[in-house]
């Protein structure tokens, strides 16, 4: 089901770690917990993605925060390469708010998204905890809960386009949980890898959502792999692949992304 597309876009969190930095100080872009004002774009199998991130003053010397806005799937039919029903309209919109407590390395995330193709959306709140570094590896376990809403669900599909009235077409489907981890492997000063497994499952709601809310099942294990190269201290290029236990990596989502830190 296509509710899953918006929920399972698992780009690593961009929160704060270490000492509080001035806005103009260049942050380590390989750190999944780094906060910085940024802009980026991605060339994907379903079109172009645009991303803007802005840090803000939390009012506390021990916390930092950032808002990130993303628009996905622009001109997919014209320039995408998947050939899986892409069109030239915008596929989805995503908003995330990040916050972190610098005293304990614990972050939080509000994640809201909407899929325009299938009129499905979700909103979730989760916590992430930085663990002590182990050699070239860093691990950041995550847990959270969310709600799913949108066009009326039909077993094994997305929305019911034949519903007659607005109150029939849009509803609150139910609640879900997410548990997983962000992992980073630093190969060199300029090259690093990420693997981010996430397990999502339904908790409450309509019988259709509870039984078929994630790819026709009540739960799903999702995977994300990323390979990154730091061009200079302010710019990097990254390759992402997203797939699930039910979708092979060949049939998953792929993108090449460029990010710049201001």
pTM confidence score: 0.84
Q: What is the pLDDT of residue 36?
A: 86
Q: What is the pLDDT of residue 239?
A: 97
Q: How far is CA 222 from CA 158, 196, 201, in A?
A: 19, 8, 11
What would the mean pLDDT of 168-194 be, rounded to a whole number? Answer: 92
> Mean pLDDT in the chain?
85
d(CA 206, CA 214): 13
Q: Dihedral (C-alpha) 103, 54, 237, 127: value to the nearest 10 degrees?
A: 40
Q: What is the pLDDT of residue 1?
A: 47
Q: What is the pLDDT of residue 84?
A: 58
Q: What is the pLDDT of residue 164?
A: 42
Residue 166: is its pLDDT beyond 70?
no
Which range has the worst mean pLDDT, 8-17, 113-122, 243-252? 8-17
What would the mean pLDDT of 206-233 be, rounded to a whole number? Answer: 95
What would the mean pLDDT of 203-219 be, rounded to a whole number? Answer: 93
Q: Dihedral (C-alpha) 58, 59, 62, 64: value to the nearest 10 degrees?
A: 20
What would the mean pLDDT of 79-105 be, rounded to a whole number? Answer: 81
Residue 192 pLDDT level (bands cut at 50, 70, 90): very high
Q: What is the pLDDT of residue 170?
A: 81
Token look-up 């969310």 returns 146
Q: What is the pLDDT of residue 21?
A: 42
Provide the 10 A C-beta neighbour count for residue 61.
8
DSSP annotation of 157: S
Among 54, 53, 48, 57, which residue's Cα sits nearest to residue 20? 57
Residue 70 pLDDT level (bands cut at 50, 70, 90): very high
Helices (H), the chain: 3-7, 76-79, 166-169, 207-212
What would the mean pLDDT of 39-45 be, rounded to a whole number? Answer: 92
Domains detected in the chain: 3-261 (2.40.160.40)
What would the mean pLDDT of 246-262 be, rounded to a whole number? Answer: 94
- Annotate 75-120 with DSSP letters as a single string: THHHH-S--SS--SS--EEEEEEEEEETTTTEEEEEEEEEETTTTE
Q: How far is CA 262 from CA 24, 25, 230, in A?
A: 7, 9, 15
């Amino acid at each position: 089901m296509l509710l899953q597309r918006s929920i399972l876009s698992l780009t690593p969190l961009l929160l704060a770690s270490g000492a509080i930095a001035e806005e103009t100080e260049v942050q380590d872009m390989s750190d999944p917990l780094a906060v910085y004002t940024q802009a980026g774009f991605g060339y994907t199998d379903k079109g172009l993605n645009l991303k803007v991130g802005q840090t803000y003053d939390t009012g506390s010397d021990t916390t930092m925060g950032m808002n990130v806005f993303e628009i996905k799937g622009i001109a997919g039919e014209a320039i995408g390469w998947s050939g899986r029903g892409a069109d030239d309209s915008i596929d989805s919109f995503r908003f995330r708010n990040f916050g972190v407590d610098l005293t304990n390395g614990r972050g939080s995330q509000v994640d809201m998204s909407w899929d325009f193709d299938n009129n499905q959306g979700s909103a979730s709140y989760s916590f992430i905890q930085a663990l002590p570094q182990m050699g070239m590896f860093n691990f950041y376990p995550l847990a959270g809960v969310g709600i799913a809403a949108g066009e009326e669900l039909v077993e094994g599909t997305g929305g019911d386009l034949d519903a007659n009235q607005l109150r029939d077409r849009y509803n609150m489907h139910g609640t879900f949980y997410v548990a997983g981890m962000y992992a980073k492997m630093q190969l060199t000063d300029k090259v690093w890898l990420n693997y981010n497994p996430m397990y999502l499952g339904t908790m409450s709601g309509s019988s259709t959502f509870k039984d078929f809310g994630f790819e026709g099942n009540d739960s799903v294990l999702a995977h994300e792999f990323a390979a990154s190269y730091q061009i200079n201290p302010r710019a990097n290029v990254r390759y992402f692949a997203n797939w699930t236990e039910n979708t092979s990596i060949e049939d998953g989502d792929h993108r090449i992304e460029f990010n710049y830190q201001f």
